[in-house]
Structures are given as structure tokens and as C-alpha cells.
Structure 1
Amino acid sequence: WTEEAESYFEKVPPFVRPMAKRGVETYARSKGIEVVTPELIRLAKEKSMGKKKKNDEGSEKKPGNWGDMNRSTSRIHPEISTFFAKEGVDALRYAFEKKTAVHAGVGGTYLEKEQVMETWAECSAKVDHSKRRTVYIHTPFCRSHCRFCGFYMYKLEKDSSRIYSHGLLHEISLASETAAVQDEPIHAVYFGGGTPTDLEAGDLEKLLEGVHKYLPLSNDCEITIEGRVDNFTDAKIDACLRGGANRFSLGVQTFDTKVRRLMGRRAKREEILELLGKLCDRNQASVVIDLIYGFPNQTMDIWLEDVRTFIEDTELDGCDMYQLNVFNGGPLANAIEEGKVPQAADIPTQAEMFSVGRQMAQDARLNRLSLCHWGRSSRER
């Protein structure tokens, strides 16, 4: 890295610098370049953001939800025009060309490094009188980067679990003394990621114990551990339950083994059903899963089988049905552009998948709790 490149890189928000730096260096190696300059950083950025030079026919138009992931706002497409629907068409399939965000309602901008602690002190000193309050605790590690995921940050290393959980507990203890945390009860705690179930069993239990020790939890507080099937061992399940977790949310995405392998998921259909059965048989926590529609090679028949499997072959308490997003510069986008993976489903096809999934849930008399979440039992709120 030249001095100019290092200086230029200071403009990148601190918490994304490690990931961005790896991306620049990967791009440099792919081009056989040994020295990183500001110009190379610019080229790497354009590559990661999916920018293409216009040809005589204009910019390339891609089917499906292709876009640039903004981690601070969750937005994919910032243009205001995306909020205006087309008229005179089948609304579900053709009113909009793309989604505008990964998650609704998320907003905000990055803070400069020197502003972080001052802003946190100001916010945490204010009493929060919200009637329903949630704590989100992030785990930024994964054992591997699945092709479709836009939230991967760091690979789990040997001591990552111990070091991170120790620091996290310390931060929770400090935050617990603030007015914003202590003055009203907390009704839900969500361990998300990344992959929280990639943490060691002992660390998971300590974090859960710390949440109970330091946070003013309500008597009916819902405590969710997010994870995936691979490496979610019996020891980790038991540790979570001992620590007080009462809800598990697993990213199954699809039960089809071939589609799963294409997307970088490790567990087979049989292994998924075995783990889900274990969790349900313990009967100590709500168990829900995510399913995604629109994957490459995921036909309508495969999607119907995914939804049928959830409804008929499991005793799960709930399920989310999410639309696939393809992030420019991500593993899935690169694989599609390089011809290694077929195109993802276009918007009309995804709309049809959502429609039939919704109808199957309705026919099974599931309770629709939000736009894309269904509950089967009274446990799922």
C-alpha cells in the first residue's frame, strides 16, 4: 500500500475497513498487481459496486433484486422513483421492478470515529419510554461465506468466540448503567449476525447469563438465538437453554440439498430435519426458520416442496418467507456474471412464489404475523 492509498483509505468508515481492505487486496491479486494505489482502490470499488461502462445500448439491466447493499440503512436502491408504482399492470408482479431495501424501516448515516462515543453518551443518557423495547446483540462471525448473503463480515478464527464474547459482556455491563437501558423493561433480546451459533457453547451461555444479569428484562421477555444448522451441536443447544434462550431462529433458506450446496450451505435436507426435530422435541423454546424464494435453480416445484416440508414434515412454531436479494460484488452476483451459476428468478417469478407460499400458509390456517412471517403456535408472537 502506498502512503497515498493508506491516506485515501482513511475515508472508509472504521468498522468496515478490514472487510474493504480484504476486498481491495483480493481485487489486486486477481489482476496480478502488487502495489495498492488510490487509483486501484477506485477500480476495486467500482468492481464491488457492480458499475459497468455503458455500451451503445445503454446500461445492462438485470432481472431480480440486484443492488448495492448499504449496511447503515439496509437500502438497496436509493432513487426516490423506486417508490412510484406502475399503473395498469398486475400489481404483485409488475408494479415495481425491484425491492428498495433489505429490511423495512431501517435508516441512518455513518458517524465519524471521533463522534461515536460522544453520540452514544448523549443517546444513552436519555430515558426511553417506549412501551415495547428490544435489544439486538450482534455476532459478526461466520464459519463460511454463503453465496447469497450480504451480511458476512469476518471468518470465525480460533480465539474469536472467547475474545469477542468477553468484550461484549463488558460493553453490556457498561451499557446497563445508563438511563436508556435501565428505566424501562426490555421485552425482547435478539442475538443476530453473522452466526451466533458459531460461538462456543460456554461463551453462548455466559452471554445469555450476562443479559439476564445486566438488563432489566420483562417477565415474558423473548430471547432469540439466530443460527444455522451446521455446527449447532447438542452442547450448544443445551447451553442456550440453560442460559435462558426461549426462541431459536434458524436460517434454513431451502430444504433442497442441491440448491443449498449451490448457495454454499453445508447441511443436507436430512440433517436439517433431524436438528429441527431435536429442538422441537425438547419443547423448551419456540423454533422458527427462514425460507428464501428466488434462488438460481430453485424451480416452483422446489419452492412448493420447501413450504410443504415446513407445514407438513415439521412441528415448527413459525416461518419467514423472504425474497432473494443479489448484492453487486457479492459471491452470488460474481458467480452469476461469470456463468458459474444460472440467473436468479426475476421479480414476476418471485412474486408468484410468494403468492403460492402465502396461499399454502393460509390453507394450513397459520397466523400471519407480519408481511413475511407466519406463526403456527401460540408461542410465536
Structure 2
Amino acid sequence: MARGIYIHIPFCHQICNYCDFNKFYFANQPVDDYIEAVGQELHIWHQRSPESFAQVETIFLGGGTPTALSAQQLSRLLSLIQQYVPIQQIKEFTSEANPDELTEDKLIALIEGGVNRLSMGVQSFDLTLLHRLGRTHNNGDVFHTIDTAKKVGFTNISIDLMYGLPDQTMAQWQQSLQTALDLQLPHYSAYSLLVEPKTIFYIEYNKGRLPLPTPELEAQMYRILMQEMDKHQMHQYEISNFAKANHQSLHNTIYWDNDEYFGIGAGAHGYVNGIRYSNHGPLKKYMEAVQEGDARIHEHIVSMSECMEEQMFLGLRKTAGVNEQQFYERFNQSIETAFPKVVTPLIEQGLLERQASHLRLTKQGRFVGNTVFSQFLLEQ
């Protein structure tokens, strides 16, 4: 049964240098028609799985940038969502946001439409690095937007930070961390830069024009991140996420629990009834496909072995790790049986440990998470 709905809003007023998500410049795009197409896709899925829509717990508006829309467009989008999803049952309704786009009228439209959590893409409090990333906001935008959001009624606010950036120094990272923590928000996410294909940074990297920190410096940045978050009583509940009590991201936990969710919108991905799928990415293709009754372009039936792999490398991202009893109940075999000669060596290397019937990464293991995860890939 699907626990969440992800809705993709692929419009941006500025394309960031590191972003590889499906996105389009806002200007001259059929934004209003796209919103109606999203409503139509919601209708299609509601007809297919009315029982799942009745039990959805979370909604997440991602992008692109949902706040690239006007207040009126946001209101229309949210009204369409409310036609198909009983908002009163939603535990968490998140919208991503850019600090310099989140005006008071947009904030009011969001909160009146049922959104109860904001996830703001701050990335850095260093203006030089913001410019390098292609971001258009400044620190004043962040402070003002957070104050305005609180004024209109938002209490659950998260910000994203990035480290391992081109030419980033430890001093810059520590200053951004301190500024972020001074805001005393209930949730923070912090990600190391990944240079993805089809991005400006990827082009620069291949030309030798992207001076990245050494792996040793990036690891030290991560170590400082964990230390500072712990010092400020922010619980690390996932490799890159930290929260005060009862403020963990419920929607993202669906992914890490390897549970199912609907993916709505151009280029969106979903996981329903054991099938992972992706939608058409180009706007015209997506909207035409919706009119024809199915936005999906790819479907993949997840095999038992693939599901077990995903259960491990997604679940091990959580600080709590993978519940061994739940693994057995889901797959009718233990983790050791499913992955012979994997667990014990990783425990002996100090990368995995057992605690309270969970198998989890050690603190040392968090630094080499991808190496650990790769050990749980089965031969097909």
C-alpha cells in the first residue's frame, strides 16, 4: 500500500549549476496547463487505487521549484490535490522552496492549502559559494523568509546545506553551519556535492575547471557536521539528516523504509504494487500522455532479490538501521541467509553493528556508506 505522494513541479527561474533533476526555465512554459495535467494524473491514480489514496500519510511537492509558481497557481495546484486526497489524514505535507521566491502571499497559499512543512534550499551562507552554485538568494532572504513563514503559522521548517563544494574551505563550512544552527530550526539536511551528468558542474569538471576539496577534507567536513549537530541536540536519524524530537521527515522515511509511494508529474518516479515506474519527462510528452490516460514511460517489476537489496542499502541510511525481524517477516529469511558472507566481515571491519534487533552502520561506517551498501548487491 502506497504511503506517500510525490508531486514534481519542474519549473525554475534559475537553473543551479549542480542540479540534474527534470526542470525547465519558467518563462514561456505552459505552467497553468501543466498544473491541470497534474490534477488529471492524480485523478487517474485515484481511480486505479482509491484504497491507497485513502491511506496516504504524506505529500511532498518537489522540483524544480514549487515556489516558482505564483500564489494563485499554488492555490490551484493545492485545490486539485485536495479533490483526491483527504488532507485531514495527511501527517506531513511538505513543499520545497527557494528563499528569494517564498513571498508572504505564497506562504499563505501554501498553509491554507494544507502544507505544514517547508524544506528550503539554502545550501550555503557564503555569498561567494552561493554564486558559484548558481543560487540567486542572499542571507537576508533566508532570515526574512523564515521570519515570515513563522508569522503566517509554519513551525516545521527545514533547510538544506551542501559541503564538498568547489574551493570551499573548512572555515566557510563551519561558518555556514553555525549560521544555520543559530536559526534553531527543528530540521536540517546536509549533503556532499555529487557532480552529476547533464549539469554545468559536470561540464566544468570534465574541463578541469571544478576544484573540489580533497576526499580527506570532505570527510572532515562531515565529521564536523555530525559533531556540531550533536552539540546542538539535533539527532542524526539518517546519514544526511538531523532533527529535533518528532521532526524527522516522514515522507523521506518512506523511501528509506523501502515502502511504496505515488510519483506524479513530468519525470516523476513512483513505486506502486511492486512496480517502480517513471513518467515522461518533456512537458509536451507528459501532458499528452496524461490525456491518453497514462503518464508512465518506464515500468519495472521489482524482483525479490532487488527488493532485498533495496531494503538493505536504503534502510542502512537510517541511523537506526534495518530491523532484522521486519526483514525476516517481509522476505521469509534472515539477512545472513539472504546475504551470506557479507554481514560478519562488515561487523569485524567495524562498519556495521547490531543494536536492539537492528543492523546498522557504525559511526565509522557512515563515512564509507556507499562501500558498505555495495556489499549488499546480489548477483543477478
- From the superposition, tell whether residues 329 and 253 of structure 1 become closer, same or farther in structure 2 (CA, over 3 Å): same
The 3 A distance-change label for structure 1 pair 150 and 170 is: same
TM-score, structure 1 as length reference: 0.61
Aligned CA RMSD, in angstroms, stands at 2.0
> Relative to 1, partners in 2 of residues 1:180 and 1:324: Cα closer, same or farther, differing over 3 Å?
farther
| Aligned residue runs from structure 1 range 40-189, under 5 A | 128=1, 133-179=3-49, 182=52, 184-189=54-59
The aligned counterpart of 2:193 is 324
Aligned to 1:97: none
Counterpart Cα distance in 1 of 2:87 and 2:71: 22
Summarize the Cα distance change of 1:377–1:310 in structure 2 as closer, same or farther, 3 Å threshold.
Answer: farther
Distance (Å, rounded) in 2 between the aligned partners of 1:338 and 1:246: 43
CA shift, 1:231, in A, is 2.0
Q: Deviations over 1:326-369 (max 9, x none)?
A: 12452012234446x54122322211111110110001111222
Cα distance in 2 between the residues matched to 1:261 and 1:348: 25
Partner of 2:228: 360
TM (norm. structure 2) is: 0.61
Classify the secondary structure of the residue corresponding to 1:302. Answer: helix
In the TM superposition, residue 138 of structure 1 has moved relative to its aligned partner by 0.7
Tell me how far 1:288 sits from its aligned partner: 0.3
Structure 1 residues 180 and 371: alpha-carbon distance in aligned structure 2, compared to 1, 3 A threshold:
farther
Task: Give the CA deviation at 1:222.
Answer: 0.6
CA deviation profile, 1:142-189 (whole Å, cap 9, x unmatched)? 112111112153111235321111111122122212226546511100
**Structure 1 pair 329–163 and aligned structure 2 pair: CA distance change class (3 A):** closer
SS of 2:6's partner is strand
1:335 and 2:184 are equivalent in the alignment: no
Distance 1:220-1:245 versus aligned 2 partners, 3 A rule: same
- Tell me which of 214, 219, 227 is aligned to 1:346: 214
Q: Tell me the distance in 2 between the aligned counterparts of 1:183 and 1:324.
A: 35
Matched, 1:372 2:240: yes
In the superposition, relative to structure 1, how do residues 240 and 193 fare at CA in structure 2: closer, same or farther (>3 Å)?
same
Deviations 1:194-253 (A, max 9, x none): 111111211211222222221245635211011211322211111111111000101111
Q: Which residue number in structure 2 is paired with residue 191 of structure 1?
A: 61
SS at match of 1:185: coil
> In structure 2, how many angstroms separate the alpha carbons of the residues matched to 1:308 and 1:187?
33
Distance 1:280 1:371 in 2: 28
Distance 1:217 1:186 in 2: 9
Aligned residues: 249
Q: Distance in 1 between matches of 2:126 and 2:50?
A: 45
1:353 maps to a residue whose letter is M
Q: What corresponds to 2:308 in structure 1? A: none
- Partner in structure 2 of residue 247 of structure 1: 117
Q: Is the 8 A contact 1:288 1:317 kept in 2?
A: yes
Q: Which runs of 5+ in 1 are unaligned?
A: 1-127
- Distance 1:376-1:201 versus aligned 2 partners, 3 A rule: same
Larger radius of gyration: 1
1:289 aligns with 2:159: yes
Percent of aligned pairs with the same amino acid = 25
Deviates further, 196-205 or 175-184: 175-184
Say if 1:142 and 1:154, in contact at 8 Å, map to a contact too: yes
Q: Is the 8 A contact 2:67 2:97 kept in 1?
A: yes
SS in 2 for 1:150: coil
Uncovered stretches (5+) of structure 2, i.e. residues with no partner? 250-380
Distance 2:204 2:38 in 1: 35
CA distance in structure 2 between the aligned counterparts of 1:356 and 1:194, rounded to whole angstroms: 30
What code does the residue aligned with 2:188 have? C
